[in-house]
């Protein structure tokens, strides 16, 4: 997990600063968005292939494919090698998320599966912290050096897979965790829409927050690497990119306890407001204030997300479609990651990085207004949070 996220995260971070050398930024944004959409569309067949042929086997396949995305840069950096590397990376990421989840859950004891998933999140965040931290230094070198470095990191991840235990059970028969069940069983569209409507208004609010939040993070990961490439003495921004996940690793338990003891309407109100306002402000200073506002933005995101998830869970009396809901949440997140780079690619050249980030945070503010005008009068009554399964983890980086 650590080495794959290290290498894959570094490759994704380099797509916008390298791409602008050979293509207009708006084209790069469209290409990165299209890559996310392709990954989204291929998600279902990828899940079926994993279930049929084995998780570890296709984790090897996906990592091996990713090696060729790095190799492309070794043959001279051109428009053609850039496009080929981007295309290959789609398949490099394709089996990774569902493959890791299914592999971990097929090995984890049922009573401690939640801890294994938490360890997965921490490991992935460590990999992103490493890639973000070295990004300002890597940008000083040639694309050939970048390709060689990514290749070495991913090669280590590939070797590690051979040291991992073989698949021993099928997720079909062993895994019952509802928040991850969407990787195993796909549901018809009509029943999915019915399930969403049944859990309104909490389900609508959670989907809107995840969509707007993912658009924001997609814009951040397009814009900030460009700022690092263009500005001298921008090493601090590498830490700034890492802070979005690092804050959850640091504050996750505390925020859960806070949500358990506080009024949920207040948590949603201040959480979304803090997320939107901090998101708007962080682009106007790319020094220490960027790190502070980034930390506050993610804190607000998690405050609101925990409360909305607990509200949704309390509305679901039968809990027979938890996996379906979780799958739709992930679908909206993926959609946001497709929209974000497209918007950023168009706006960056027109209005600059600061205003692009501000506009990226506006959908979050609109969600806050929607909550205020339409939903705040609803009473949020939930059980003790310890009785509620952990909400689907929102990746604040490429996954």
pLDDT digits (tens, 9 = 90+) for 251-283: 655 665 665 556 667 788 888 999 999 999 988
CB-facing half-sphere around the CA of 187: CA atoms within 13 A: 20
pLDDT of residue 126: 85
Residue 324 reports pLDDT greater than 90: no
pLDDT at 49: 78
Cβ neighbours of 116 (radius 10 Å): 14
Q: What is the pLDDT of residues 64-112, one digit of tens each?
A: 999 999 999 998 889 999 999 999 998 888 888 777 877 777 777 766 6
Alpha carbon 286 to chain centroid distance?
Answer: 22
d(CA 338, CA 325): 20
Q: What is the pLDDT of residues 25-76, one digit of tens each?
A: 999 999 999 988 887 787 767 767 777 777 888 888 889 999 999 999 998 8
CB 10 within 8 A of CB 156: no
Return the structure tokens found at 272: 């979304």
pLDDT > 90: percent of the chain: 34
- Residues in the chain, how many? 399
pLDDT in tens, 326-384: 667 777 888 898 999 999 999 999 999 999 999 999 999 999 998 888 766 655 555 55
**What pLDDT is stored for residue 363 in this prediction?**
95
Residue 180 pLDDT grade (very low, low, confident, very high; cuts 50, 70, 90): very low
Q: What is the mean pLDDT of residues 6-11?
A: 93
pLDDT digits (tens, 9 = 90+) for 192-223: 566 666 666 777 888 899 899 999 999 999 99
| 8 A C-beta contact, residue 377 and residue 226 | no
- Is the pLDDT at 171 greater than 50, yes or no? no
Give the 3-state secondary structure percentages of the chain, helix then strand then coil, rounded to 5.
Answer: 80, 0, 20
What span, in angstroms and rounded, lies between the C-alpha atoms of 17 and 55? 33
Whether the CB-CB separation of 138 and 14 falls below 8 Å is answered with yes
Mean pLDDT of 235-263: 68
DSSP 366-391: HHHHHIIIIITTS------GGGSPPP
Q: In the Cβ-directed half-sphere of 250, how many Cα atoms lie within 13 Å? A: 10
Q: Is 388 left (phi over 0), alpha (psi -120 to 50) or beta?
A: beta
Side-chain-side CA neighbours of residue 383 (13 Å): 10
Q: What pLDDT, on a 0 to 100 scale, did the predictor assign at position 372?
A: 84
CA atoms within 13 A on the CB side of 83: 8
Q: Which two tokens stand for residue 76?
A: 């001279």
The overall average pLDDT reported for the chain is 79
More confident residue, 397 or 298: 298
Q: In which element (H, E) is residue 39 found?
A: helix 25-41
User: Are residues 96 and 8 in contact, defined by beta-carbon separation less than 8 angstroms?
Assistant: yes
The residue with tokens 């397009």 is 222
Mean pLDDT on 163-190: 52
Tokens 């609010």 identify what position? 205
pLDDT of 50 reads 74
| Span 5-34, average pLDDT | 93
Where does residue 346 rank: exposed (0-12), middle (13-18), buried (19+ CB within 10 A)? middle
Q: What is the pLDDT of residue 395?
A: 61
Determine the Cα–Cα distance for residues 238 and 132; give it in Å rounded to an integer.
5
pLDDT tens digits along 142-162 = 999 999 999 999 999 999 999
Q: How deeply is 172 buried, as exposed, middle or buried, from its count of CB atoms within 10 A (0-12, 13-18, 19+)? A: exposed
Question: What mean pLDDT do residues 274-300 have?
Answer: 89
Tokens 């979780």 label which residue? 326
Longest dimension (CA), the chain: 60
| Residue labelled with tokens 């299914």 | 102
Q: Which has the closest alpha carbon to 205: 337, 326, 338, 374?
A: 374
């Amino acid at each position: 997990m650590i080495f794959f996220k290290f290498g894959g995260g570094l490759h994704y971070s380099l797509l916008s600063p390298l791409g602008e050398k050979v293509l207009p930024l708006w084209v790069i944004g469209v290409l990165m968005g299209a890559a996310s959409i392709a990954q989204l569309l291929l998600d279902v067949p990828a899940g079926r292939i994993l279930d049929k042929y084995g998780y570890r086997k296709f984790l090897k396949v996906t990592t091996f494919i990713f090696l060729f995305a790095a190799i492309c840069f070794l043959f001279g950096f051109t428009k053609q090698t850039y496009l080929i590397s981007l295309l290959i990376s789609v398949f490099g990421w394709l089996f990774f998320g569902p493959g890791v989840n299914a592999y971990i859950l097929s090995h984890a004891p049922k009573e401690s599966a939640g801890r294994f998933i938490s360890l997965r999140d921490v490991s992935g965040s460590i990999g992103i912290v490493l890639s973000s931290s070295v990004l300002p230094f890597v940008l000083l070198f040639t694309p050939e050096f970048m390709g060689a470095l990514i290749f070495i990191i991913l090669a280590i991840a590939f070797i590690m897979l051979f040291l991992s235990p073989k698949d021993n059970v099928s997720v079909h028969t062993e895994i019952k965790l509802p928040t991850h069940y969407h990787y195993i069983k796909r549901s018809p569209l009509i029943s999915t829409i019915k399930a969403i409507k049944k859990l309104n208004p909490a389900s609508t609010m959670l989907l809107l927050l995840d969509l707007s939040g993912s658009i924001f993070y997609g814009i951040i990961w397009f814009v900030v690497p460009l700022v690092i490439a263009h500005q001298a003495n921008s090493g601090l921004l590498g830490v700034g990119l890492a802070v979005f996940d690092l804050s959850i690793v640091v504050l996750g338990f505390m925020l859960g306890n806070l949500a358990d003891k506080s009024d949920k309407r207040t948590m949603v109100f201040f959480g979304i407001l803090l997320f939107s306002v901090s998101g708007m402000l962080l682009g106007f200073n790319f020094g220490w204030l960027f790190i502070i506002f980034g930390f506050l933005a993610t804190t607000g995101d998690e405050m609101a997300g925990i409360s909305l998830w607990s509200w949704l869970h309390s509305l679901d009396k039968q809990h027979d479609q938890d996996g379906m809901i979780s799958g739709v949440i992930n679908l909206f997140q993926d959609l946001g990651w497709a929209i974000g780079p497209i918007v950023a690619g168009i706006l960056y050249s027109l209005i600059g990085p600061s205003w692009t980030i501000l506009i990226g945070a506006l959908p979050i503010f609109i969600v806050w207004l929607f909550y205020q005008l339409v939903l705040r009068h609803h009473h949020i009554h939930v059980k003790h949070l310890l009785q509620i399964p952990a909400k689907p983890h929102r990746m604040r980086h490429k996954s």
